[in-house]
Amino acid sequence: MRKIAFIAALLSAVCLSAQEINCTVTVNSDQIEGSNKQVYETLKTAIEEYMNQNRWTNMTYAEKEKIECSMLLVVKEAADNMYKCEMTLQSRRPVYGTSYTTPLLNFKDNNFNFTYQEFDRIEYQQNTFTTNLTAMLAYYCYLIIGHDQDSFQRLGGTPFFQQCEEIVNACQSASMESIEQKGWLAFDSNRNRYALINNLLDEAFKKYRNYYYEYHRLGLDEMSGNVTNGRARIAEGMPVLKEAYRARPATYVINTFLDAKAEELVDIFSKGTDKEKKTVYDLLMDIDPTRQTTYDRMNE
């Protein structure tokens, strides 16, 4: 009964606070010399307030139920109120019956570029493009919520991924500097904001998203009661990753999954049976050979 109550609370999230996200923002301007450093403190505060104080859904979250995440902005160039940055976003959620939090997103955006003047108000208006910064932040808020919901309910993140898609569409037709367009355009890269949300809403990846749910709810959340069964459930579904990769080797969504989960998979299966280790290791090396050093630790 306690488990049912726990899941029901997380799914309905009916409690005290409207906001869904608790994001800590860091702005690193070490590469920028001789500029007004105070602007970066102002920017950090403005982004945190925008992400944490806006209401992004119709659901209501208690303080302890907010989605924990962090955002790191590394400023590469700054001139005439135009900022060229790299952004790393991480989000996580608790695993039932443990003190462990599992990573849901570990995403790097190399084209987080925007115009900003100190003390500019960062306001999001749904279905209306205002600035590239507000659009990118809204996109990532919905991406965070979508992954969180997918981890608790089959395809539960769909309405939030659709919000991401609407933002992408609006930005593709919006008037902005060419440097700000990077990340939104279909032909720009197969590893950008457009490509990721296109994958997530593609029928071809529905099996992957179902596995994402099974990985968390039927795998990790079951481990507090039975580690062996939870680990076996995760291993059982992993061929879905290989199927998706084989069908579309350039697919972005599988890369983002492994960016978040590679270390966790090593931790899980280093304690598995020899058969599980071999099966999982071989599969991961087939689809993600660049992380061989990480996966080798599974067999130590």
Q: What is the C-alpha radius of gyration for the chain, rounded to an integer number of angstroms?
A: 20
d(Cα 184, Cα 293) in Å, to the nearest integer? 33
Q: Report yes or no: 92 and 103 within 8 Å, Cβ to Cβ.
A: yes
The three-state secondary structure class of 157 is coil
pTM: 0.92
Give 35's contacts (C-beta < 8 A, 6+ positions apart).
Answer: 29, 78
Q: Report yes or no: 268 and 258 within 8 Å, Cβ to Cβ.
A: no
Taking only the tens of pLDDT, the chain with its 300 residues reads 434 444 444 444 444 456 899 999 999 999 998 767 899 999 999 999 999 999 999 998 888 889 999 999 999 999 999 999 999 999 999 999 999 999 999 999 999 999 999 988 888 887 788 899 999 999 999 999 999 999 999 999 999 999 999 999 999 999 888 999 999 998 888 889 999 999 999 999 999 999 999 999 999 999 999 999 999 999 999 999 999 888 777 688 999 999 999 999 999 999 999 999 999 999 999 999 999 999 999 998
d(Cα 257, Cα 101) in Å, to the nearest integer? 16
All structural domains of the chain with their residue ranges:
2-148, 206-299
The residue written with tokens 């962090």 in the block is: 70
d(Cα 246, Cα 222) in Å, to the nearest integer? 30
Alpha helices (H) along the chain: 2-12, 38-53, 132-152, 158-172, 178-181, 193-200, 206-213, 227-237, 239-247, 253-269, 274-287, 292-296
Q: Report yes or no: 69 and 26 within 8 Å, Cβ to Cβ.
A: no
